Amino acid sequence: MTDLAIAANGLRKSYGDKTVLDGIDLAVPEGTIFALLGPNGAGKTTAVKILSTLITADAGETRVGGHDLAADPQAVRAAIGVTGQFSAVDGLITGEENMLLMADLHHLSKREGRRVAAELLERFDLTEAAKKPASTYSGGMKRRLDIAMTLVGSPRIIFLDEPTTGLDPRSRHTMWQIIRELVTDGVTVLLTTQYLEEADELADRIAVLNDGKIAAQGSAEELKRLIPGGHVRLRFTDPAAYQNATSALPEASRDDESLTLQIPSDGSQRELRSLLDRLDSAGIEADELTVHTPDLDDVFFALTGGTGIPNQPKEAVR
Ligand SMILES: Nc1ncnc2c1ncn2[C@@H]1O[C@H](COP(=O)(O)OP(=O)(O)OP(=O)(O)O)[C@@H](O)[C@H]1O
C-alpha cells in the first residue's frame, strides 16, 4: 500500500454558526496530485489553511507527511510548502533577493542559499529577470517565482491554492508543466482550483467540495462516470446497415440524416462489451464507433447544483 502524504478524517470547521467544513475525509498518496474542486465559498481555502497549520480545525484527525497536525504542527510545517492566492513575493526587491530571503528563513548558509537560489531561478526560467524588481514581473513570472520560493525549503508536500487563477493560457500551461515536474520528483501536490480543465489535466484524484462536504471523490474518469449523459455513438455510411442497426438497438436515439445512433452508456468496459456483442450477433458493422463521457463541467454542475446524483455507483467514488 502506498503511504499517504495527507490523511484527514472527519475534519470540521465552523465560524460562528456557519459550518464551513462538515466532516471531510481526505486521503492523498505520496507523489500524487490531488485537486480540491468546489464553487466559491465551498471551503477549499479553509481546508488548505487547516492542512498547512495556518488555522486549527474544530474536530478531526489529520496527518500530514506522517505527522499529527494537532500534536506536532512544527514537524508538519517543516515538511510542507504553501503557495497561496496572495503571493509571498515582495515586489520591491528583486527575484533573486526574494529567493535569498527565503533561503535565510530556512537557515541555509549564504553559500548554500546562493546555490539553491541560482538553481531554482534557472529551473523556473527567471535567471534573466533575477536582478529586476519583482514588481516588474508578469503574472506568470510572479507565480513561477512564488513556487521557486516555496521550493527553497525542499518541501515534500506542496499546497497550491488556485495556482493558475488570472494567468493567460500559455502561462497556465507552463505552470501545469511545472506542477507535473514537481510530482515526478516524488513531491505530493494538493491544489485547489476553480478550473475543471485544470483538475482534469493534472490531478490523479479530485474531491468535489460542496456545502462543507465532499460530494464525490475519484479520478476524473470515475467522476465523469457518476453522472448520466454518457453515450456511445455509432455512425453508418450505408443506409441499409443503419436501418438494421435501428431495429437491433430500439433504445437508441436516431439521427436519420447523419445515419447516426446514440446509445446511452456509462462507457464502462462491461457495457461496451455487451453493446459490441449485440452488434456482432446482429451482423452489424458501424463505420465509426465513439464513446462519449460527460466532461467535468457536467459533473461539477450535477454535484454542486443540489440536484444529487442518480444511482451513484459507490465503488467508483472511492
Ligand atoms: N475567518 C473567517 N470568518 C468567518 N467566515 C469565514 C472565515 N474564513 C472563511 N469564512 C467563510 O467560510 C466559507 C468558505 O470560505 P473559503 O475561503 O474556504 O472558500 P473557498 O472554497 O476557498 O472559496 P473561493 O473559491 O471563493 O476562494 C465562506 O463562506 C467564507 O465566508
CB of 45 sitting under 6 A from ligand 1: yes
Strand ordering across the sheet containing 59-64:
18-29, 4-15, 59-64, 67-68
Q: What is the CA(206)–ligand 1 centre distance, in A?
A: 20
CB atoms inside a 10 Å sphere around CB 59: 12
- The tens-digit pLDDT sequence of the chain (318 residues) is 468 999 999 999 999 999 999 999 999 999 999 999 988 888 999 999 999 999 999 999 999 999 999 999 999 999 999 887 666 788 899 999 999 999 999 999 999 999 999 999 999 899 999 999 999 999 889 989 999 999 998 999 999 988 888 888 888 898 899 999 989 888 999 999 888 888 989 999 999 998 899 988 999 888 877 777 778 999 999 999 999 999 999 999 899 999 999 998 877 889 899 999 999 999 999 999 998 877 777 777 777 775 433 333 333 333
38 C-beta closer than 6 A to ligand 1: yes
Q: How far is the CA of 47 from the centre of ligand 1 (A)?
A: 10
Q: Is the CB of 43 under 6 A from ligand 1?
A: yes
Does the beta carbon of 15 lie inside 6 Å of ligand 1? Answer: yes
Pocket of ligand 1 contains residue 41 by CB under 6 Å: yes
C-alpha cell at 220: 476524473
pTM: 0.77
Distance 93 CA to ligand 1 centre (A): 31
Q: Is the CB of 304 under 6 A from ligand 1?
A: no
